Structure 1
Amino acid sequence: MPSTNLYLNFNNPTQFIEGWYWTLPSNKLKIGQVKAITLLGRNLAIYRGVSGQVVAIDAYCPHMGAHLAEGNVEGDNIRCFFHNWKYNERGICVDIPSLEKPLPVCIKTWHTAEKYGMIWVWVGEEKPSSLPFVLELEQADCDYILGTRFVKNCHPNVLLINAIDAHHFNTVHNLPLEIVFDSQDLNPNAITFSNTTRGGDDSWLIRLIRPLYRKEVTYSMCYWYGSTGTVTLGPDFLHFYIIFALRMIEGGKTEGQTILVTPKRPGFLGWVVNRGLLWLTQQVGNYFAKGDTQVFQTIQFNLQTPTKADKSILQFIQHVNHQKALTWEKWETVNYSNSQIPSTPNSELTLIEQEKNGFKI
């Protein structure tokens, strides 16, 4: 694991970016069910009340520390199994059977939302920002399926840069193209990368697919909170959408869930078409993952000698480092003193400054 004083937030196994994180599929939590979840080192009880709303609450009852996931859901409340103390959806104690009036006790609860078939929890004290979404489908009703769930032996930040590692498309995937990514901040917590491609005229594959595109071959990403990536690719008449929802687990490793998405199409025929498109989307995702998946079981990321092709990676590192960080397990804000702010390695700084000033490298 690289030294954290180099990358600050990026690839840091002791902290993460404040934001939305996936917990479990929506269909795995029925009304009246409660489940124990460990998210970014913190233990939670997540339940679905009679109203259908999902509640995420700190796991341990403040009376004697029993885990609330062992308790029972009553209406939109949760009752501790051990001594039957009951808490409402805001974490306020509303009933203690042995007392006429409950004590003024409250457990911390966290904002939740459901999108793309997944339950998400907002980790942070600030008002929640936007849920991760596919940019082209922001206002669209969507069909989706959950794809592969996986664990990788590297940090989520490192796994995400694979999709914007321009040079590896040549070396690993044998694409005969020069790919250059242009970045743009969507908001303080989201950054987009879109591609410009050059060359490939000697390849029969590129000549075959070129007529399917008016301009560039569509391949773009949007990264949210340094942990969730949405990928859009495909010919002009049919785009494929893949979401890589990632979260850090113990030791700075990654647990991830792929989500395949397509806009809803009307009627039974539209449903059938979408099932086929979602299956095809999954095959596309598997194709790109297959070539380099083993790298992320053995990699020890430490970018000390960046090249021009690494420009997008450096931009993503900067983007992550400028976001609000929280500590593992405690979920407390990380406050840096001036002495703790890392200096950029000379080779990295030179590259950034040259690109910024429009110099050729």
Structure 2
Amino acid sequence: MNINSQIFSARSQKKTFNNPQRFIEGWYWVLPSRNLSQGEVKAVTVLGRELVIYRGQDKRVITFDAYCPHMGAHLAEGKVEGNELRCFFHNWKFDAEGICVDIPCLEEPLPMKLKSWHTAEKYGMIWVWTGETPHHPLPFVPELEDEECHSALGSRFIKNCHPNVVMINAIDAQHFNTVHNLPLEIVFEKDELNENAITFSNTTRGGEDSFFIKLIRPFYKNAVTYSMCYWYGSTGTVTVGPDFLHFHIMFTLRMTEQGKAEGQTLFITKKRKGIFGWLFNSIVLSLTKMVGDYFAKGDTKIFQTIKFEMRTPIKADQSIMQFINHVERQKALSWETWLDARSRDIESSDRSKWRDDMTSD
């Protein structure tokens, strides 16, 4: 697909990208693992849907829809009993699969089940899958796919724009020159790992007349290492650094009310054995934080005031166009309901057609 067709596609078919009522079916962060202790239950809201989350005695994390099916009491007011959750109001109890296993005033519980959601932990975060069955894995750094990792939490942040808009900043080739003063033309090569994951990697050398490039060139055999991998349009992993040591930063975002973004920064490195490995990793993670802070420093104010609309795309925006089209091809769900957005579009279209037919009659 050439740049002209990418621009046309992004302009004419944009239904999910930067849409405050839609998001991609996938894995989304809920809260740091350390913020949910064994036997603790909490209320959380993710992508407009109210949930209850708890950690059983077996340390497994469970996520349900928030309200008891009896009278609608919020289950976060209840308590964890072993690996089960008991509602505070009338003491109905549900097991880890959401099945009602005890109603104190009845000899046998009623045949009912809470809506449960697939939940997992990775990189020190709790994640929930927003669909029925996970089709693809939790977001990961491609370079560390088969590695056991150490990670550290960075800052949690709010941006006054959609997560998709925050995400494209990392592949906005022009801004590396205008904002970060990088004396190098960045050209990205894309590679779709699967329908929900896409990478953009720098392929260019150049900038040899720059003192900065001359300074770092001995550390790079080929192009300066900079790679971005996107998952579900809202989580991105940056890989940057000299050939002998790469730094890995994850920015994982989720949409909040009115299409704003709430995000969490994570710093990740390969696990190294022993006390010296632990010390080395501590240094690497600290350096990774410094790298992340540098990239975020010049951009923060933009996301508080931007009103994104790609009205005049140019060739330098090719990677952004490719990302937008990648997002548009993924399965979209509706805010709060987590129902298939495109199915609802068809239903809405059918209703409109029915009304038109009735009016014409």
Using the size of structure 1 for normalisation, the TM-score is 0.91
Equivalent pair of 2:118/2:133 in contact (CA under 8 Å): no
1:129 Cα deviation after fit: 1.7
1:175-194 correspondence to structure 2 within 5 Å: 175-194=182-201
Do structure 1's residue 248 and structure 2's residue 255 form an aligned pair? yes
Map of 1:328 onto structure 2: 335
- Classify the secondary structure of the residue corresponding to 2:203: strand
Equivalent pair of 1:230/1:244 in contact (CA under 8 Å): yes
Equivalent pair of 1:10/1:321 in contact (CA under 8 Å): yes
- Classify the secondary structure of the residue corresponding to 1:7: coil
Quick one: distance in 2 between partners of 1:101 and 1:204? Answer: 77
Do structure 1's residue 78 and structure 2's residue 85 form an aligned pair? yes
Per mean C-alpha deviation after superposition, the further-off stretch among 22-31 and 127-136 is 127-136
How many residue pairs are counted as aligned between the two chains? 337
Q: Deviations over 1:285-339 (max 9, x none)?
A: 1001001110000000000110011000000000000000001001100124499
1:184 Cα deviation after fit: 1.0
Do structure 1's residue 23 and structure 2's residue 30 form an aligned pair? yes
- Classify the secondary structure of the residue corresponding to 1:178: coil
Do structure 1's residue 309 and structure 2's residue 321 form an aligned pair? no
- Classify the secondary structure of the residue corresponding to 1:292: coil
| Alpha-carbon distance change, 308 to 339 in structure 1, aligned in 2, over 3 angstroms | farther
Quick one: distance in 1 between partners of 2:72 and 2:308? Answer: 39
1:198 Cα deviation after fit: 4.0
1:199 Cα deviation after fit: 2.7
Map of 1:294 onto structure 2: 301
1:141 Cα deviation after fit: 1.2
Structure 1 vs Structure 2 CA RMSD:
1.5
1:225-304 correspondence to structure 2 within 5 Å: 225-304=232-311
Equivalent pair of 1:122/1:128 in contact (CA under 8 Å): no
Q: Deviations over 1:243-278 (max 9, x none)?
A: 001100111000000000011122111111111110
Equivalent pair of 1:326/1:334 in contact (CA under 8 Å): yes
Do structure 1's residue 106 and structure 2's residue 113 form an aligned pair? yes
Map of 1:124 onto structure 2: 131
- Classify the secondary structure of the residue corresponding to 1:146: strand
- Classify the secondary structure of the residue corresponding to 1:259: strand
Quick one: distance in 2 between partners of 1:223 and 1:67? Answer: 35
Equivalent pair of 1:111/1:128 in contact (CA under 8 Å): no
Map of 1:47 onto structure 2: 54
| Alpha-carbon distance change, 65 to 86 in structure 1, aligned in 2, over 3 angstroms | same
* Consecutive unaligned residues in structure 2, runs of 5 or more: 1-10, 350-361
Using the size of structure 2 for normalisation, the TM-score is 0.91
Per mean C-alpha deviation after superposition, the further-off stretch among 263-272 and 131-140 is 263-272
Do structure 1's residue 61 and structure 2's residue 68 form an aligned pair? yes
Do structure 1's residue 32 and structure 2's residue 39 form an aligned pair? yes
- Quick one: percent identity of the two aligned structures? 66
1:128 Cα deviation after fit: 4.0
Map of 1:96 onto structure 2: 103
| Alpha-carbon distance change, 128 to 97 in structure 1, aligned in 2, over 3 angstroms | farther
